[in-house]
Chains A and B, each alone.
Chain A
Amino acid sequence: MSTMSPVRRLLHVSRPEWPRLGLAAFLGALAIGCAVALLATSAWLISEASLRPPILTLEVAFVAVRAFGLGRGVFRYSERIVGHDAAFRSLTRLRVLVYERLAQLGPSGVPAFRRGDLLTRLVADVDASQDLPLRVVIPALSALLIGLGSAALAYWLLPAAGIILAIALLIAGVVVPWLTTIAGRRAEQRSAMTRGRLSSEVVEVLVGSGDLLAFGTADAAIDRARETDRELTKLSATSAAASGVASALSVLAIGTAVVTSLLVAIPAVLDGRLPGTALAVIALLPLAASEAVVSMPSAALNLASVRTSAQRVSEVLDAPDVVHAPAVPTPLPTGERSLQLRDVRARWALDGPWTIEGITLDLPPGHRVAIVGPSGAGKSTLASVLLHFLDHEGSATIDGVDLADVSDDDLRSVVSALTQDSHVFDTSVAENLLLAKRDATEDELLAVISAVHLDAWFADLPSGLRTPLGAHGTGMSGGEQQRLALARVLLADRQVVVLDEPTEHLDTATADALTADLLALTQGRTTVFITHRLVGLAEVDEIVVLEAGRIVERGRHTDLVTAGGPYSRALALDLQAGDS
């Protein structure tokens, strides 16, 4: 499946919707067909009428003309309804597919989870895929059907005219869009560098205006941007010409078809091969049929942009697994939980460098370990290993069973975690908490809210537990979000808790208050507390100092302070800054 081109893959995902897409394309063809038929029938009708036959002989044509007049709007409307319906259905399919893949990859398997903007782009890319059925497939299929139909009609009247029309439609509907796309891509390539430079110069002035003003370099920066902008405008001249040529070519193709059709049709009428009443039909058919191909250049451009989106979506679908579920899970024995790591190493890519190496750690039940070290030392990698979001080498066991052999459900029923940016879902307070424990009672919810010191915040909520949170709900500060996440952890009530930099994005005062509460509330659980701040660690059972993926120092706070190693040096800086 991965050998398929990204666009074909998108089409493949929407396969169950193909009948609907086909119907929409057929309705679209009927809509344009009505317009073509309206003009063709009218042309024949008035030619015939000018011969003044009994009016009854034209009755069918009169009815047909009116029907075609009605049909166009009705068919167009149905096409859009059926097409959008099919597009939404395919979108849901793709979303589910992408989500299932993301869930399988886990939080560590996709770089997007480490960068918010990438995540938003991925979601936008998935959403952009609905342009494929709506703005590419349906118009292209309709154009094909109606192009063939019109050419066939012309061919039936006069074979030469049919061939002429087919060639003209091919030029306007295939060649011109193809040229437009190529010219667009060329222009894009040529101006990509300049565009990139302009973009960073604009960002510099808008985002860095303070720095520029303070150092008196604002005018120079604006001049630079203006210069680049000029260059870009100059570069766009070629693509403007190309785009003009494409438009002209399409007008020329249809116009030439009209003139040449007349050139072949006039002698045919004179020597009786073509009835005179069909001459107007032959002359007007290219004009009417051109409507079928008019949307093809924009369909081609849409295809190009869908291709880019599809490419990025495919990258997620094809991302290599960073964690493997056990084929036959080993059940966990009951009892208190202890974790043991023996010479564990892990990495993010199959052939990449080891991010952590030689990690040995003992966590008997109720033991509390703090993992400290500068950013990039491998702390979060270790958290991913403990949560089995990332495969490891060496032995990492829980109650004697290797993490790699435990089923996901079993592991989650024992280990929970609090991460850097806990997500607040776009739903009620209650639902946000209940995901940690489906059957929690209201009293339990209120109890954990109170335990994490969110009482004051909660008291201000307009509708208590039913108050909506998240993007469409009440805003929360970073500290409140992390407290809500801690409430989830408490509600889930697991024996092992991993706290992965829970105070990362908080200001000092908020961070210190949260740290104190975190350590107090998780008392009695086996706890791994990952942090780069060395505050309030005096009471943990062991402090492990990581540097460049390896343990460089370990021990209790008091021992490490006297040892004079990296911990005490970092702590000294901390104290010098008056942090504790």
Chain B
Amino acid sequence: MKPLDPRLLRYARSTRAFLVVAVVVGALTAVLVVLQAYALADIVTGTFQHGLDVDALRPTLIALATIVVARAALAFLSDWAAQRSSARAKSQLREGLLAHAVQLGPVRLAQHRTGELATLATRGIDALDAYYARYLPQLVLAVIVPLVVGLTILGLDLLSAVIIAVTLPLIPVFMVLIGMYTSSRVDRQWRTLGLLSGHFLDVVAGLPTLAVFGRAKSQAQSLRKVGEEYRKATMQVLRISFLSSLALELLATLSVALIAVSIGIRLVNGGMDLRVALIVLILAPEAYLPLRMVGAQFHAAAEGLGAAGRVFDVLDEPLPVVGTRTDVPPMLGARFRFEGVSVAYDDDRAPALERASFVIEPGRVTALIGPSGAGKSTVLSVLLGFIAPNEGCVQIESAEGEAGILNTYDPQVWREQVSWVPQSPYLAAGTLADAVRAGMPATDDEVAEALREAGLPIDDAALPFGLATPIGDAGAGLSAGQRRRVALARALLRPAPLVLLDEPSAALDLETEARVVAAVERLRANGCTVVVVAHRPALVAIADVVVELPTVVVEGAVLS
């Protein structure tokens, strides 16, 4: 892990301001640490060597109290700024992620396991709090404090300064060396550890299977055995990896001890003043403290940066170049000509669609069939502008004879003429009516009519609150069949000349599919161009043209 990921500065701009605050707070803290040492030494020697009482020491005591208050104020400022910056950084990351995600489009986004990404973008990056509140300020302190403290000591006592100057840099060196040695050892054990640590989940997940064969109870013994093996293997690794913090602690405390002994001897010999000795003694541990704290906060910070890193990966993905023309020809009665269209989702995988050439005739139903992976859904993604062909192009020829290449137009504009029923529709949390409207201004009657057509009449007993029936994220509360009917109603409500339907490959329920068939027939009667990805023969049967992918075009219905 890099101590400070430059991408964090780029994508979460509030980090920069926070770094400035952290440096200022760090510098002030370092100065206060030095002043506090001076004040303490003055008070102790004042009473011990010169017999001064509280009254005589009043100014110094007040100064000490002021320093304490100032340090408390800095602690407040540092913590408060960290929390604020963290909240803002998280918010900036999320905003950036959402905007970028939408511009990438669902097809490219799907490479990033979106469900997991959503969790990371909300709960996951909360771990950044630890990074901002504890790690980053300590990192800054680890640079500033040893410098200020070291220079102060240098001005007071050369020998002590030399001890610090020699040991302090050794700490990171040792930690890196030990870390390198450990990581090769840990890597070797990794597979074993992975297997052992996954064993519990494996056995628990397989419990129903074990129970069927009467082996569930006997597994407890094996869990105990594997647990022991895991413990032994992990302890072997830990014995080595804890060495790095052992080195850190040893160097840090041993050097303080050495300094104490050396100034003690020089005091006895009369080569040093008690005030200087006290200042050096108080300051010496402070030089090592921030470095020790950085080490301690490393893991909590790594977790947050790890989550943020996954977000950065998405943000780093270059945006596709999209068309900008807004003069999209009317799609009613338009013909779509696929000419040698190839689509590859990424370079190292086989293309999802290869040199497909076929025509989508206006006002007719085109069924896309073929084995899974043949590129049926990809055709719909191209028509929706979610992905552009790598090779070939899609020609659009309007009824008036206007022609153009689809991808030169702004997809946001051309999508206004397209309606879509996806395989697994996403319905936002809200009411049933909201889900069907999907931003369209439509009256309740129109919504109800669309639902009725889709086979989900709102007086149905399953919808106790009619149009106001609340639905959760991803349509929670609705069955898969109901969700699909809502998606169908949503598509029907939209007066779009091009309608795309993606049939789910796993059969849902038959009545829903019957509704889809009826709806497709009605759409055709209204002059719409319909493209369906069909897995079941029922939809293929009503198609005017069947396109089999990889491309074979069959005119007329195949299964009539």
- A45-B260, A213-B105, A578-B540 known; 5 new pairs, CB 8 Å cut-off, are A103-B210, A207-B115, A229-B94, A426-B198, A435-B209
B47 contacts A259, CB within 8 Å? no
Bound together, the chains give a CA A215 to CA B541 distance in angstroms of 29
Bound together, the chains give a CA A431 to CA B386 distance in angstroms of 45
Task: Select one of A47, A225, A243 contacting B98, CB under 8 A.
Answer: A225
Interface size on A, residues (CB 8 A): 152
A360 on interface, CB distance cutoff 8 Å:
no
Bound together, the chains give a CA A95 to CA B219 distance in angstroms of 11
Residues in A whose Cβ lies below 8 Å from that of B198: 426, 471-472
A60 on interface, CB distance cutoff 8 Å:
no
B319 on interface, CB distance cutoff 8 Å:
no
Q: Per-position contact with A for B201-220: 1 when CB-CB < 8 Å, else 0?
A: 11111111111111111011
Bound together, the chains give a CA A507 to CA B267 distance in angstroms of 86
| A46 touching B263 in the complex, CB below 8 Å, given contacts A204-B473, A241-B80, A576-B538 | yes
- Between A and B, 23 residue pairs with Cβ closer than 8 Å are A46-B260, A72-B250, A73-B249, A88-B227, A92-B230, A123-B204, A200-B429, A203-B118, A210-B384, A213-B411, A213-B415, A214-B418, A216-B412, A240-B87, A244-B78, A255-B65, A258-B64, A266-B43, A267-B53, A423-B208, A508-B535, A574-B510, A578-B537
B246 on interface, CB distance cutoff 8 Å:
yes
Task: Select one of B54, B61, B278, B418 contacting A267, CB under 8 A.
Answer: B54
Interface size on B, residues (CB 8 A): 153
B195 on interface, CB distance cutoff 8 Å:
yes
Bound together, the chains give a CA A578 to CA B558 distance in angstroms of 13
B180 on interface, CB distance cutoff 8 Å:
no
B274 on interface, CB distance cutoff 8 Å:
yes
A65 contacts B105, CB within 8 Å? no
Bound together, the chains give a CA A570 to CA B427 distance in angstroms of 28
Interface of chain B residues 355 through 380 with chain A (CB within 8 A): 372
B7 on interface, CB distance cutoff 8 Å:
no
Nearest opposing residue in chain A for B200, CB measure: A95
Task: Select one of A69, A96, A255, A270 contacting B257, CB under 8 A.
Answer: A69
| Minimum Cβ distance to chain A for residue B141 (Å) | 14
B87 contacts A232, CB within 8 Å? yes
Interface of chain A residues 42 through 92 with chain B (CB within 8 A): 42-43, 45-47, 49-50, 52-53, 55, 58, 61-62, 65-66, 68-70, 72-74, 76-77, 80-81, 84-85, 88-89, 91-92
| A270 touching B246 in the complex, CB below 8 Å, given contacts A244-B83, A247-B76 | no
B207 contacts A107, CB within 8 Å? yes
A84 contacts B235, CB within 8 Å? yes
B195 contacts A77, CB within 8 Å? no
Residues in A whose Cβ lies below 8 Å from that of B51: 270
Nearest opposing residue in chain A for B102, CB measure: A218
A96 contacts B224, CB within 8 Å? yes
4 nearest interchain CB pairs? A69-B257, A255-B68, A92-B227, A208-B426
Residues in A whose Cβ lies below 8 Å from that of B385: 213
A470 on interface, CB distance cutoff 8 Å:
yes
Residues in B whose Cβ lies below 8 Å from that of A368: none
Nearest opposing residue in chain B for A42, CB measure: B260
Residues in A whose Cβ lies below 8 Å from that of B552: none
Residues in B whose Cβ lies below 8 Å from that of A24: none
A99 contacts B425, CB within 8 Å? no
A450 on interface, CB distance cutoff 8 Å:
no
Residues in A whose Cβ lies below 8 Å from that of B474: 203, 207-208
A217 contacts B72, CB within 8 Å? no
A100 on interface, CB distance cutoff 8 Å:
yes
A209 on interface, CB distance cutoff 8 Å:
yes
Binds A, one of B147-155, B400-408, B459-467, B501-509: B501-509
| Minimum Cβ distance to chain A for residue B213 (Å) | 5
| A221 touching B214 in the complex, CB below 8 Å, given contacts A70-B250, A425-B206 | no
Bound together, the chains give a CA A91 to CA B133 distance in angstroms of 30
B213 contacts A436, CB within 8 Å? yes
Binds A, one of B237-245, B326-334, B337-345, B391-399: B237-245
A99 contacts B211, CB within 8 Å? no
A303 on interface, CB distance cutoff 8 Å:
no
A280 on interface, CB distance cutoff 8 Å:
yes
| Minimum Cβ distance to chain A for residue B179 (Å) | 16
Bound together, the chains give a CA A219 to CA B243 distance in angstroms of 52
| A259 touching B227 in the complex, CB below 8 Å, given contacts A69-B257, A577-B538 | no
A46 contacts B115, CB within 8 Å? no
Residues in A whose Cβ lies below 8 Å from that of B258: 66, 69
Binds B, one of A32-40, A397-405, A451-459: A32-40
Give the interface SS of chain B, mostly helix, strand, loop or mixed: helix
B213 contacts A255, CB within 8 Å? no
| Minimum Cβ distance to chain B for residue A506 (Å) | 8
A440 on interface, CB distance cutoff 8 Å:
no
A387 on interface, CB distance cutoff 8 Å:
yes
A221 contacts B204, CB within 8 Å? no
B555 on interface, CB distance cutoff 8 Å:
no
B185 on interface, CB distance cutoff 8 Å:
no
Residues in B whose Cβ lies below 8 Å from that of A50: 49, 267, 274, 277
Identify which of B43, B247, B258, B513 gathers the most chain A CB atoms within 10 Å of its CB: B43
A419 on interface, CB distance cutoff 8 Å:
yes
Residues in B whose Cβ lies below 8 Å from that of A45: 260, 264
Residues in B whose Cβ lies below 8 Å from that of A470: 202
Residues in A whose Cβ lies below 8 Å from that of B31: none
| Minimum Cβ distance to chain A for residue B101 (Å) | 6
| Minimum Cβ distance to chain A for residue B99 (Å) | 6
Bound together, the chains give a CA A122 to CA B204 distance in angstroms of 10
B536 contacts A53, CB within 8 Å? no
Bound together, the chains give a CA A74 to CA B248 distance in angstroms of 11
B265 on interface, CB distance cutoff 8 Å:
yes
Task: Select one of B220, B231, B274 contacting A46, CB under 8 A.
Answer: B274
A417 on interface, CB distance cutoff 8 Å:
yes
B416 on interface, CB distance cutoff 8 Å:
yes
| A508 touching B505 in the complex, CB below 8 Å, given contacts A46-B267, A213-B415, A471-B202 | yes
Bound together, the chains give a CA A55 to CA B262 distance in angstroms of 12
Residues in A whose Cβ lies below 8 Å from that of B91: 229-230, 232-233
Residues in B whose Cβ lies below 8 Å from that of A70: 250, 253-254, 257
| Minimum Cβ distance to chain A for residue B254 (Å) | 4
B452 on interface, CB distance cutoff 8 Å:
no
Task: Select one of B68, B77, B206, B209 contacting A256, CB under 8 A.
Answer: B68
B230 contacts A88, CB within 8 Å? yes
Nearest opposing residue in chain A for B201, CB measure: A123
Bound together, the chains give a CA A39 to CA B281 distance in angstroms of 8
A251 on interface, CB distance cutoff 8 Å:
yes
Residues in A whose Cβ lies below 8 Å from that of B82: 240
Q: Per-position contact with B for A120-132: 1 when CB-CB < 8 Å, else 0?
A: 1011001100000
| A492 touching B270 in the complex, CB below 8 Å, given contacts A69-B256, A508-B505 | no
Interface of chain B residues 104 through 141 with chain A (CB within 8 A): 105-106, 109, 114-115, 117-118, 121-123, 133
Nearest opposing residue in chain A for B225, CB measure: A92
| A577 touching B536 in the complex, CB below 8 Å, given contacts A202-B122, A240-B80, A507-B505 | yes
Q: Per-position contact with A for B418-429: 1 when CB-CB < 8 Å, else 0?
A: 111010011111
| Minimum Cβ distance to chain B for residue A283 (Å) | 6
A92 contacts B267, CB within 8 Å? no
Residues in B whose Cβ lies below 8 Å from that of A122: 204
A513 on interface, CB distance cutoff 8 Å:
no
Residues in A whose Cβ lies below 8 Å from that of B411: 213
Bound together, the chains give a CA A508 to CA B506 distance in angstroms of 7
